[in-house]
Amino acid sequence: MSVRFVIDPFDFVRKTEVHHGRMPLAEFPRLQDFLHENHGEVAYQISGFLDQDDKPRLRIKITGEAQLCCQRCLGGLAHRIDIDTALLLAKTERELILADEDNSVDAILATAEINVLDLIEEEIILSLSISIRHSEGKCDVHQSEYYDSTEIANPKNPFAVLSTLKKKSH
């Protein structure tokens, strides 16, 4: 496991700091559930700034490639990661609730320490589709080698198997 990179978000913004680096996909434990393979890495940059209303924000840019797992065929699905977002730093729960009411603002509750790698992982997960899958007809399960085309042309009664099971149980 790599070294934790933790920042004080308000100090990071006050100093208008910038940090960038590369991180292997294998270092993100929660992302593993979405991956077909955990090879590769992402490049990231995080910078602190004040917006036009003098509100503290963190800009996060993440780029890379990931091999996601298709939920239909369970095969690999190449996915381009290209995230560029600015997060408003809410000082209190009340500020966070108010920011959440405005759908045009992404906000997080700023604690004394923020683990940057956890933040990057969270942004990657939030950027993923709810249902990760190949486009229609592109899954491996649609290839003729995975099924017998005569079964599709002459479908059997799906309840026939159930009736045989019922007879066996008596």
For position 147, what pLDDT does the model report?
A: 45
Pairing, β 6-7 against β 41-50: unpaired
Stated length of the chain: 170
For position 133, what pLDDT does the model report?
A: 86
Q: What is the mean pLDDT of the chain?
A: 84
- Structure-token pair, residue 126: 């939030």
For position 153, what pLDDT does the model report?
A: 47
Q: Exposed (0-12), middle (13-18) or buried (19+): which is 20, by Cβ within 10 Å?
A: exposed
**Kindly report the CA angle at 41 between 17 and 113, in degrees rounded to 5?**
35
Long-range contacts, 103-108 (Cβ 8 Å, 24+) = 108/58
For position 130, what pLDDT does the model report?
A: 87
The conformation of residue 26, written as its DSSP 8-state character, comes to: G
Produce one character per residue of 44-57: b if its CB has 16 or more CB atoms within 10 Å, e if not.
bebbbeeeeeebbb
The rounded percent of the chain whose pLDDT value lies above 70 is: 80
- Structure-token pair, residue 29: 């434990």
Structural domain spans, the chain: 6-143
The rounded percent of the chain whose pLDDT value lies above 90 is: 55
- 133 compared with 14, residue with greater pLDDT: 14
